[in-house]
Amino acid sequence: MSKKIPLDEGPFPPLVRVFIAVAIPKPNQELSQQIIAALMNSGAKVSWAKPDALHITLKFLGEIPRDDVPVVRNTLDGVLCNLPNFEIAIEGLGYFPAKGAPRVAWLGIKAGADELARMAAQIDQAVMKLGFAGETRPWQPHITLGRIHSAYRTAELLSLMESTSTAGFELFKADRVIMMRSQLGRGTPIYTNIAVWELQN
């Protein structure tokens, strides 16, 4: 079963912005920040992620009623609690969409990509039974580094992405899946863990 983490103490909004993800260990967060610092030299207008906010999103649920959080958690208990852990390797830089104006800059996943895709598909199928919309586009595992706001100096950004090395990331074990709450504000989002599923050895 998942480890239940209490929601905020005190008053709490009726809707909670929720997603399911795999976290990134601190050494890889720090190297990601070095890559972000290099890409910032492009001068492009990008909202860059903070190191402790980096993760691999498996399913974005959006804003859901607070009372639905335990329902989702209990449903995913049956999906995630018996899955094995596996290793993940980070490699490469890219952007979405592949055609047209870039909107998201990301780090790619090499080893572990197939396992992540299978897990994401299982989660998608499980929450669809609860009424959530299923994925309509091919799912690609990635770590969002930043969201691009305009075409200003985008060419310089893409050029830097082609020349920036992603060597040095540590191979790490995906040994848990997290349900996270995202709080939006004027700055970067604030993420809070609200459930954790430990994957099996």
Predicted pLDDT of residue 80? 93
Share of the chain above pLDDT 90, in %: 76
Q: Is the pLDDT of residue 60 over 80?
A: yes
Residue 99, C-beta contacts closer than 8 angstroms, at least 6 positions apart: none
Confidence (pTM): 0.90
pLDDT digits (tens, 9 = 90+) for 1-49: 666 565 544 456 688 899 999 999 999 999 999 999 999 999 999 999 9
Give the pLDDT band (50/70/90) at residue 201. Answer: confident
Return d(Cα 87, Cα 199) in angstroms, integer. 12
- The token pair at 101 is 């104006």
Long-range CB pairs of 91-94 (<8 Å, 24+ gap) are: 91/166, 91/169, 92/166, 93/35, 93/145, 93/161, 93/162, 93/164, 93/166, 94/142, 94/161
Length of the chain (residues)? 201
Give the pLDDT band (50/70/90) at residue 51. Answer: confident
Between 54-68, 88-102, 185-199, the lowest mean confidence (pLDDT) is in 185-199
Domain ranges of the chain: 13-198
pLDDT, mean over the chain: 91
- Say if residues 63 and 15 touch (Cβ distance below 8 Å): yes
- Say if residues 101 and 151 touch (Cβ distance below 8 Å): yes
pLDDT digits (tens, 9 = 90+) for 141-182: 999 999 999 999 999 999 999 999 999 999 999 999 999 998
Query: Other CB atoms closer than 10 Å to residue 6's CB: what's the count?
Result: 6
- Say if residues 135 and 60 touch (Cβ distance below 8 Å): no
Q: Is the pLDDT of residue 50 over 50?
A: yes
Mean pLDDT, to the nearest integer, of 110-137?
Answer: 95
Predicted pLDDT of residue 3? 66
Annotation: CATH topology of 13-198: Cyclic Phosphodiesterase; Chain: A, (3.90.1140)
Predicted pLDDT of residue 10? 43
